[in-house]
Amino acid sequence: MALWGVLSISSEVKSSADKFYNLWKSQVYHLPNISGGIQNVEVHEGDWHIEGSVKAWNYTVGGKALKAKEKVSFDDANKSITFDLVDGDVLKEFKTFKAVFKASPKADGKSIVTWTIEYEKLNKSVAIPVEYLVLYEQLAEEVDGHLLKN
């Protein structure tokens, strides 16, 4: 059994890729008001939309309240954001854990939102983190609903 892996999930949303990317890049502080899965997010180092900033998160996955700190990097050309975990509950079971968000425009004005998780488990008894895909799918739906209202 491998200790590392990659998981991915894609969702079609009605909002534009630009709006989705902009919210995740520079307005992520709105997420606690948008999603029940995110209780709090705050800047630990840097600023909301600055490459290399560290954000502290309180969130729920699989019914568990968790904390994490992640370092963020942006790829504006591809509307992609990498969240590289640097501290928190997840790193009690994983040596590395990185989530990559990408918003891709479609010709009909809709978008495809893709989340990819790259991870390395500390040992074979750690479960594959599929519950994060459930959170990311929920976030895609909730953020889309929020963007369509505003």
State the pLDDT at residue 1.
59
12: left (phi over 0), alpha (psi -120 to 50) or beta: beta
State the pLDDT at residue 20.
95
State the pLDDT at residue 46.
93
| pTM beyond cutoff 0.95 | no
User: Is residue 72 within 8 Å of residue 51, measured between CB atoms?
Assistant: yes
Catalogue all structural domains in the chain, each as residue range(s) with its CATH number: 4-149 (3.30.530.20)
Q: How far is CA 59 from CA 18, 38, 56, 114, in A?
A: 25, 4, 10, 20
Q: pLDDT averaged over consecutive 10-residue blocks of the chain (150 residues)? A: 91 97 95 96 93 96 96 97 97 98 96 98 96 96 95
CB atoms within 10 A of CB 54: 15
